[in-house]
């Protein structure tokens, strides 16, 4: 059962984001990006207040480098749609299980990002979970 509402066009949009942000990191890397996106919609906190849909999350200003720089405009493939459906249906993967932020530094992962603690690295991306009451909703189970 979906943890956020998603029409076919939303799945396609999310699939495009997964491909653009993490295609080089394989299926798990793309699933982790999807987890962060779905967490942002569900958390409704910090920089992500008011995100209610996949398009809100994807097109949030300055949120995803791929959307800003043009890698995002590739057609979704069925393999990415399958991954998008998994995260929309609530499948969570460590280290993005509760993460709201990730990024790809040139070197080592900083111990914090936007004042949030480092969880772990997967290939080139570093993942960060929220702390405190404001973002507690991200830890809710489906």
Q: pLDDT by residue (tens digit) across 100-112? A: 999 999 999 999 9
Q: What is the CATH number of the domain that holds 35?
A: 1.10.10.2520
Helix and strand element counts for the chain (H, E) = 5, 4
Query: Is residue 20 in some structural domain?
Result: yes
Query: Is residue 66 in some structural domain?
Result: yes
Residue with tokens 């991954």: 83
Task: With cut-offs at 50, 70 and 90, classify the pLDDT of residue 142.
Answer: low
**pLDDT of res. 57:** 98
Query: Is residue 69 in some structural domain?
Result: yes
* Owning domain of residue 108: 8-139
Query: Is residue 2 in some structural domain?
Result: no
Query: Is residue 3 in some structural domain?
Result: no
Tens digit of each residue's pLDDT (9 = 90 or more) over 47-99? 999 999 999 999 999 999 888 887 778 889 999 999 999 999 999 999 999 99
In 3D, which of 3, 21, 18 has the Cα closest to residue 66?
A: 21
Query: Is residue 32 in some structural domain?
Result: yes
Higher pLDDT, 1 or 53: 53
Strand 116-122 to strand 112-113: parallel, antiparallel, or no bridges (unpaired)?
Answer: antiparallel
**pLDDT of res. 114:** 86
**pLDDT of res. 69:** 80
Query: Is residue 1 in some structural domain?
Result: no
Domain count, the chain: 1
């Amino acid at each position: 059962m979906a943890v956020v509402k998603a029409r076919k066009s939303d799945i396609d949009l999310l699939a495009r984001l997964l491909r653009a942000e993490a295609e080089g990191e394989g299926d798990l890397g793309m699933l982790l990006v999807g987890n962060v996106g779905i967490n942002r919609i569900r958390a409704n906190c910090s920089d992500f207040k008011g995100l209610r849909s996949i398009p809100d999350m994807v097109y949030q200003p300055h949120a995803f480098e791929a959307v800003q720089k043009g890698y995002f405009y590739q057609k979704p493939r069925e393999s990415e749609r399958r991954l998008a459906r998994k995260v929309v249906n609530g499948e969570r993967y460590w280290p993005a299980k509760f993460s709201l932020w990730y990024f790809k530094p040139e070197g080592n992962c900083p111990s914090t990002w936007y004042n949030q603690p480092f969880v772990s690295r997967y290939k080139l991306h570093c993942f960060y979970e929220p702390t405190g009451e404001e973002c507690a909703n991200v830890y809710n189970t489906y």
